[in-house]
Structure 1
Amino acid sequence: GHRIELGEVETALNSLSAIHRAVAVVLSPAGQPASLAAALLVDHTDDTDTEQFKADVTDQLRALLPDYMVPSTLALVDEIPLSANGKVDRKQAQILLAEHADAQHTTLTPPKGDKECQVASVWQALLPDRSIGRESHFFSLGGDSLLATQVISTLRENGLTAEQPLRLLFAQPVLAEFAAGLSFENAEPLSTLVPDPDARFEPFPLTEVQRAYWMGQSPGLPLNCGTHYLVELDGENVNIGRLEQAWNSLVQHHDMLRVTIDKEGNQRVLPFFPGIETLCHRFDDMKDGQGEQLAQQWLHQQFHTTSSASKNSDVGSSAQMHHLFGVSYQDAKGNPRCRVGIIFNYLTLDGFSIKLLLEQLSRTYLDPESLPSKTDLLFRDYVNQIAPSNEEKQNAETFWLNKLAELPLKASLPLATEPERLAHPIFTRREHRLPAEDWQALKDKAQKYQITPSVLLLTAYSEVLRLWNGGKDHSINLTLFDRQPVHQDINRILGDFTTLAPVGFCREEESTLIEQAKKTQREIADVLENKAVSSIWIQRQRSHEMSLTAASLPIVFTSTLGLGNGLFEQGESGFPKMVAGGLSETPQVWLDHQLYEFDEELALSWDSVDALFPEGMIDDMFNTYIALIDNLIIIDWDTPLHLVLPNKQCESRLAINRTDQAFSTRTIHQSFFEMAAETPERTAIISEQHSLSYGELAQAALQLAALLTEQGVQPGEPVAVTLPRGHNQVIAVLGILAAGGCYVPVGTHQPLV
């Protein structure tokens, strides 16, 4: 966005006493963002410490130039390349500097002062495999929004903060610049949890998101369904009995696997749950690889059966909320295999909890003695003790109330039926795996542009939604895993720490992909800074001025990138591996995009209520999205994206919007007067006062038409009418139309239909 004036850079460099001569150029390596500026320097001393000299020059330039015009590459040379006429040969200078730029990437200036050292220490702890210096860029190092919140929490605990520290980090992600915006204040230790094991089995309230999920399952609500997530595993020699034993051990270990919910919306942990029994099926007699396909279909049938059963059962019963299924079959080569389906109820578990549980299930299956050690910390303690302060909540409410004026509504995707008419939604999954090599290339490219992979994919998702939304701005519901670091064992317990937040996508004409992605990154910074109130609160505020359906945000983006190692990934052999074919359902949701890493690949899935949309539309949207992601690896991000609707979609829209058909020349009142001429005695109006025949009504209307014409009413001229419904209003309308005028109802009375 900023214009670099090379002449100003060179003037500033040449003004420094230690520099004999300097030249500035722009470096644009293929496939990489351009360096803001690179300067070639000649020092007229011989005993200079090169790195210290560069650091001193950089510090002096910061006082003379804007940050974006401070050279990112500094190289000392014996002479500057000159052309035959003695002018600087900039092409040769660029070639020479490009060689220095690669070498300089590994050269970092050590942090200076207490603030920079503290920031560097925190970054190093969260990104242990990275070299960190004053020039380090948080997002280029691999930082993301989850790590950003941990950075701010740790620094605040050490007494180092700012008025809006998260926004500062997103706006000034270079270590030296970020640290400069911080200040030392009285250390405010984070809220800490005090475990209360004696109250382990006492009721406690649902979180805001849990309550929304729970109430969203109520019969009669549109799009009411369960909160289920199917994970499919597959392997050879799977011992179902051992899998059951491992699962039941973890159920007794984790309180939130034994939770029930009563009719008042309170949750309670039971001291004991009966052991789960895995429902098994066999397709061993199927040949030619059909067994795997039938196994997957059977598991999906169990998913929908479980969902239907949950609607008709009491959530507060002691029945298991999670289910295990097994299907044996033969692969295409005739080898025996087993496909395992685990249906989680994420009313009580978030994405991180499911990841943790699967990893523990794998270890316990392989070694029953490897059950993790017990902790006194409970999810109940977190719900009862951790909440935003009044100041945080008030600041967040003020922010969002001001933001509502510009926050777009949901994307108005073409619908085949209204959500209110669809009581029992059925979700369908579409999925795609981006190979490890392509995924790494995409991550590397995003890192060079200081964009997190999640933000890049969220931006691409929003662009596809915008295309089907007629190019209009829209908002997406973002899933946040808000597990605050308030206890050393916080990452060892299960629970639903989920919060939801809206992210608005407003694009200026011809903005580039980089500009749009960085704007999205700033929006997410605002969301994280003001997450003390959630999307649920914001939708309720909007419902004061519009319907709940209009205020809803039913299009969701859920990224588990940044939750640690690949989600659901387990390197140990002997446990069935996760495979494609899972499914999820969420009340009042139209479309949920989920993404995670597995086996170094990027796994993408869309779960959608297809019955809401025209046939084939979600397929077209998903294919457009996947094609866009593939193209992101090779296209220039410093240009606008120009997505085009598929031909079938264009043809459909043209057919619907075609207005060149012939129209009737008959007026809307002509048929009435024809009827009055043919059967004048026929009753036309029956009212409480009296009745009128067609002839009487026509005569009264024509008398009024004559009066209006005498008063100068011209064809097409509006005539205001304020009358209660009744025969006089009918006479007025027919008289105005007969005179050639336009009927315009005014006042408090409803118009005649």
Structure 2
Amino acid sequence: MGEYVEEYPVSSAQKRMYMLHHMNPKVTVYNMPLILIVEGKLDYGQLERAFHSLVMRHESLRTRFVTVDGEPVQQIEEDAPFAVSYASGTEEEARGWADSFVRPFDLQLAPLFRAGVMTISPDRHLLAIDMHHIIADGVTVSILVQEFNALYHGAELAPLRIQYKDFAVWQNARMESGAYKTKEAYWMGQLAGELPVLQLPADKPRPAVQSFAGDVVEAAAGRELRQKLELLAQESGATLFMVLLAAYQTLLSHYTGQEDIIVGSPIAGRPHADLKKIAGMFVNTLALRGYPQRNKTFRDFVNEMKETALSAYEHQEVPFEALVEKLGAPRDANRNPLFDTMFVLQNTESAELVMEGLTFCPYQQKRTIAKFDLTLQAEEKNGGLQFAWEYSTELFERTTIERWTNHWLKLLEQVAADPEIRLGEIDLLTETEKAELLMTYNDPGKDYPNDKTVHQLFEEQAERTPEKTAIVFGSEKLTYRELNNRANQLACILCENGVKPDMIIGLTAERSPETIVSILGILKAGGAYVPIDPSHPEERIQFILADCKANMLITQQKLKKKLLDSQTVINLGQIKWDDSGESSNLISSATPANLAYVIYTSGTTGRPKGVMVEHRSIAHNLLWHAGEYGLTSGDTFLQLGAYTFDASILSTFSSLLTGAAVSMAPEHEAKDPNAVSRIIAADKVTHLCCPPSFFTLLLDSMTPEKALSLHTVIMGGERLPEKMVSRSKREYPFIELVNEYGPTESTVTSSVQRDVQPGKKITIGRPIPGTCMYIVNEKDNLLPIGVAGELCISGRGLARGYVNQPELTAEKFTRMHPANGCTRRGISRGGCLTGTSNFSGGSTSR
């Protein structure tokens, strides 16, 4: 370690850099390497003299950093031990040498600057320099390149009047002045209130600690687009930077739905002429806050960002690091303070090495580093604009950023052509992406027919497997023949009581085979059933019966009083079932277009809504379900859900259309994990449908031996916890976990994710065949993948609408935008599409 004269305070920027380095001393994220290919005869003697002269000329290159009394200070060595390193090797070895050259610095050891040469042949070399950001910035690199060029040729340079330490001392004193306090107050006003946290739609969960792993995607805009953007800037009295900044904030707003956004942008931080030739960390970062509200025109927003930028320049003296400290901004290990995205317009000329007999060109070294979630760098080049998107690979896939670059160029073209366009009217989608959303994501797949009623499909199966067990309920069993006979008996009774197509029949009963008999009997008679939980308050029961005009009620017990004066009550306990022989199926008057059932939703956002579902919708869904999971007569599906929820329909009737058995848990056992575990073992259950929360409890009760027959668990209605998925696959690797999604209005299941695995993103999967899903904005225009908006579902599973609520039906069941390529009605729910769907928003689960 060399000698030093004395110690000096660090600048605000150096203090933060020092803190960041000590949080991650082994990373190279704040290294500033430059590696060049040199062709020609390189004079090593001149090279070393030039480097030594630079080190002696700039005190920053001889500075080390230590802590004194708990505060970092800088110490300047009179003669720091500096030497150029040399190596030789082949072209193949050059890559490894270049990668190993960039390594961590110890801030206590000067110089924080190194240089090296690798000779590949007498006329071909790699020249590398590297320095820590705490002693340098981008302008410093240009200064050193220019001066090295002169010193290599033996030129004498004029002495520097001041050094970086002088700036650091001045800045520390300046921060106590009244003028500084005034500028500080400006920033406190700009960043007052709750600071927005940018919620970009990431492909991966945010890690607990920021890793800085990154990559770059490049794109370019041609000369014509650049000229249009510059003309827009001139018309607004702005600069190209201001126009691009407004466009970038607009893009971010489209992705996040946020209308309060902070973007960071660097500024040279060298306002005085004496500072322009000094090596050091001068660069400051400006926190530029914008409000890209959707009703503003782009021109108006440019004017706003112009004023924001001009005011920021005027008050740029306040160091970003000091501002963060003053604001008390959170310092999370996985985020940057104040903002997570940067915008940079590179308008400083890069210094070039020009030496007699030597040619230099950049060595293409891939540095996989991203200091922020996303940084957009723009550069005026070859008459056009070159863009580089630096992104965190911990958060984003490369395909996502490539898609965003196309959106960026599309946005620039639109605002350049029509500056009066409102921000909310900008369409980011390219024609290729629209086709992908319309055709690729919504792949129709195998088509399932919907030209028969549910009871017709069951009758066909009963004819194929009459003596196969259809229902298991403890020790009680019903064959397909017995189940069909009982349903026919009840259907005859209902027809005698005047049941006709689309007539709604109330059904309130406890879980038993009679529940399934009742449903089939109602359908065979041509009616539609409305399930009512007998445990619900009488007020709710009365509301449902009155709302859907159910003048007939099927129940297992005599009611103490009629809930409606005109109501016919059929008591299942009074029917003497005849299971002998075979009964003839009724000639049903119901068609696939008639109602099969009405299910009332919880009514948490208002009065309960009765959703009307037709035979063709549920038949299509049942046949898909049976085919998707390959149900056969050898399977047993455990039915746990209340029949008042539509999920119970699939677990019951997809089995009964394929010859599989339905195992019904008695009411008192359906919610008991220990009892359910025993039923799985006793009935050799192969398929189970339940909420994730119940399956989590079931994992505590099951054993691999008891669950040996179980190979498919279908879940929905709640988010699947990652811990539950990991545990299940660890303890029961033979069980496939499935995530299904679908609102009641689209008949149980709209999309599915098969084979959910630990470490794999849990989504609601892809639309089932015959179903289309789109994310649209308030104008029904398609939104890009990953962008939050309204989820619209259309297709064969769509319900008819809501009982007695034509206005609500018209609002929720709307004709979709023709651009979406779908003329069927769609229902709207909050969400965002991510290739396989992942949802944010309030209407994502039933």
TM-score, scaled to structure 2 = 0.46
Aligned to 1:697: none
- Cα separation, partners in 2 of 1:606 and 1:462, compared to 1, 3 Å: same
Q: Are 1:355 and 1:568, in contact at CA under 8 Å, matched by a contact in 2?
A: yes
Deviations 1:692-723 (A, max 9, x none): xx9xxxxxxxxxxxxxxxxxxxxxxxxxxxxx
Distance in 1 (CA, whole Å) between partners of 2:82 and 2:292 is 53
Are residues 1:315 and 2:315 paired? no
Q: How does 1:639-650 map to 2 (within 5 A)?
A: 639-640=421-422, 642-645=426-429, 647=433
Q: CA deviation at 1:502?
A: 0.8
Distance in 1 (CA, whole Å) between partners of 2:304 and 2:108 is 44
Distance in 2 (CA, whole Å) between partners of 1:437 and 1:504 is 30
Aligned to 1:255: 59
Are residues 1:214 and 2:18 paired? yes
Are residues 1:618 and 2:410 paired? no
Deviates more, 1:426-435 or 1:473-482: 426-435
Are residues 1:605 and 2:393 paired? no
Q: How does 1:216-255 map to 2 (within 5 A)?
A: 216-219=20-23, 225-237=28-40, 239=42, 241=44, 242-255=46-59
Q: CA deviation at 1:479?
A: 1.3
Letter paired with 2:80: F
Aligned to 1:271: 78
Aligned to 2:188: 401
Q: Are 1:429 and 1:607, in contact at CA under 8 Å, matched by a contact in 2?
A: yes
Q: 2:99 aligns with which of 301, 314, 338?
A: 301
Distance in 2 (CA, whole Å) between partners of 1:260 and 1:208 is 16
Aligned to 2:375: 592
Q: Are 1:224 and 1:587, in contact at CA under 8 Å, matched by a contact in 2?
A: no
Q: Are 2:264 and 2:343, in contact at CA under 8 Å, matched by a contact in 1?
A: yes
Are residues 1:521 and 2:306 paired? yes
CA RMSD, 1 decimal: 4.5
Q: How does 1:446-457 map to 2 (within 5 A)?
A: 446-457=233-244
Aligned to 1:380: 165
Letter paired with 1:274: P
Distance in 2 (CA, whole Å) between partners of 1:633 and 1:574 is 48
Distance in 1 (CA, whole Å) between partners of 2:17 and 2:440 is 36
Q: CA deviation at 1:315?
A: 1.5
Letter paired with 1:228: N
Q: CA deviation at 1:238?
A: 5.7
Distance in 1 (CA, whole Å) between partners of 2:135 and 2:380 is 23
Letter paired with 1:525: L
Distance in 2 (CA, whole Å) between partners of 1:392 and 1:584 is 41
- Cα separation, partners in 2 of 1:670 and 1:218, compared to 1, 3 Å: farther
Distance in 2 (CA, whole Å) between partners of 1:573 and 1:436 is 34
Letter paired with 1:512: T
Q: CA deviation at 1:316?
A: 0.5
Distance in 1 (CA, whole Å) between partners of 2:302 and 2:390 is 24
| Helix, strand or coil at the partner of 2:672 | helix
Distance in 1 (CA, whole Å) between partners of 2:192 and 2:126 is 50
Aligned to 2:265: 478
| Helix, strand or coil at the partner of 2:5 | coil
| Helix, strand or coil at the partner of 1:429 | strand
Aligned to 1:688: none
Deviations 1:304-348 (A, max 9, x none): xx34x33xxx32013543444546489xxxxx6545443332221
- Cα separation, partners in 2 of 1:470 and 1:574, compared to 1, 3 Å: farther
| Helix, strand or coil at the partner of 1:607 | strand
Are residues 1:508 and 2:315 paired? no
| Helix, strand or coil at the partner of 1:507 | coil
Are residues 1:356 and 2:354 paired? no
Aligned to 2:216: 429
- Cα separation, partners in 2 of 1:544 and 1:454, compared to 1, 3 Å: closer
| Helix, strand or coil at the partner of 2:22 | coil
Q: Are 2:375 and 2:390, in contact at CA under 8 Å, matched by a contact in 1?
A: yes
Q: How does 1:565-714 map to 2 (within 5 A)?
A: 566-569=349-352, 576-579=359-362, 581=364, 589-596=372-379, 604-625=387-408, 631=413, 635-640=417-422, 642-645=426-429, 647=433, 665-666=641-642, 674=672
Distance in 2 (CA, whole Å) between partners of 1:430 and 1:650 is 23
What is the aligned length? 450
Deviations 1:389-420 (A, max 9, x none): 53234333433333334675242123355555
Deviations 1:714-742 (A, max 9, x none): xxxxxxxxxxxxxxxxxxxxxxxxxxxxx
Distance in 2 (CA, whole Å) between partners of 1:213 and 1:240 is 36
Q: CA deviation at 1:532?
A: 4.6
Q: Are 1:555 and 1:592, in contact at CA under 8 Å, matched by a contact in 2?
A: yes
Q: Tell which has more relative contact order, 1 or 2 (C-alpha 8 A, sep 6+).
A: 1
Are residues 1:415 and 2:219 paired? no
- Cα separation, partners in 2 of 1:458 and 1:544, compared to 1, 3 Å: closer
Deviations 1:127-182 (A, max 9, x none): xxxxxxxxxxxxxxxxxxxxxxxxxxxxxxxxxxxxxxxxxxxxxxxxxxxxxxxx
Q: Are 1:416 and 1:612, in contact at CA under 8 Å, matched by a contact in 2?
A: yes
Distance in 1 (CA, whole Å) between partners of 2:260 and 2:415 is 25
Aligned to 2:344: 558
Distance in 2 (CA, whole Å) between partners of 1:653 and 1:266 is 59
Q: How does 1:275-294 map to 2 (within 5 A)?
A: 275-284=82-91
Distance in 2 (CA, whole Å) between partners of 1:633 and 1:570 is 39
Q: CA deviation at 1:476?
A: 1.1
Q: How does 1:93-172 map to 2 (within 5 A)?
A: none
| Helix, strand or coil at the partner of 1:201 | strand
Deviates more, 1:247-256 or 1:583-592: 583-592
Q: Are 2:37 and 2:127, in contact at CA under 8 Å, matched by a contact in 1?
A: yes
- Cα separation, partners in 2 of 1:651 and 1:361, compared to 1, 3 Å: farther
Q: Are 2:378 and 2:387, in contact at CA under 8 Å, matched by a contact in 1?
A: yes
Q: Are 2:223 and 2:385, in contact at CA under 8 Å, matched by a contact in 1?
A: yes
- Cα separation, partners in 2 of 1:411 and 1:274, compared to 1, 3 Å: same
- Cα separation, partners in 2 of 1:677 and 1:452, compared to 1, 3 Å: closer
- Cα separation, partners in 2 of 1:489 and 1:414, compared to 1, 3 Å: same
Q: CA deviation at 1:523?
A: 0.8
Q: CA deviation at 1:475?
A: 0.9
Say which structure is richer in strand: 2
| Helix, strand or coil at the partner of 2:376 | strand
Q: Are 2:343 and 2:376, in contact at CA under 8 Å, matched by a contact in 1?
A: yes
Aligned to 1:745: none
Structure whose CA Rg is larger: 2
Distance in 1 (CA, whole Å) between partners of 2:311 and 2:244 is 19
Residue segments in structure 1 that go unaligned for 5+ positions in a row: 1-198, 285-290, 331-335, 681-693, 695-753
Q: Are 1:568 and 1:598, in contact at CA under 8 Å, matched by a contact in 2?
A: no
Q: 1:499 aligns with which of 284, 299, 317?
A: 284
Q: CA deviation at 1:535?
A: 3.5
Deviations 1:258-315 (A, max 9, x none): 211124421122111334324445445xxxxxx7xx85x5476236xx34x33xxx32
Distance in 1 (CA, whole Å) between partners of 2:250 and 2:180 is 32
- Cα separation, partners in 2 of 1:254 and 1:535, compared to 1, 3 Å: closer
Q: Are 2:299 and 2:419, in contact at CA under 8 Å, matched by a contact in 1?
A: yes
Q: Are 2:64 and 2:110, in contact at CA under 8 Å, matched by a contact in 1?
A: yes
- Cα separation, partners in 2 of 1:554 and 1:450, compared to 1, 3 Å: same
TM-score, scaled to structure 1 = 0.51
Distance in 2 (CA, whole Å) between partners of 1:612 and 1:437 is 34
Deviates more, 1:413-422 or 1:376-385: 413-422
- Cα separation, partners in 2 of 1:250 and 1:442, compared to 1, 3 Å: farther
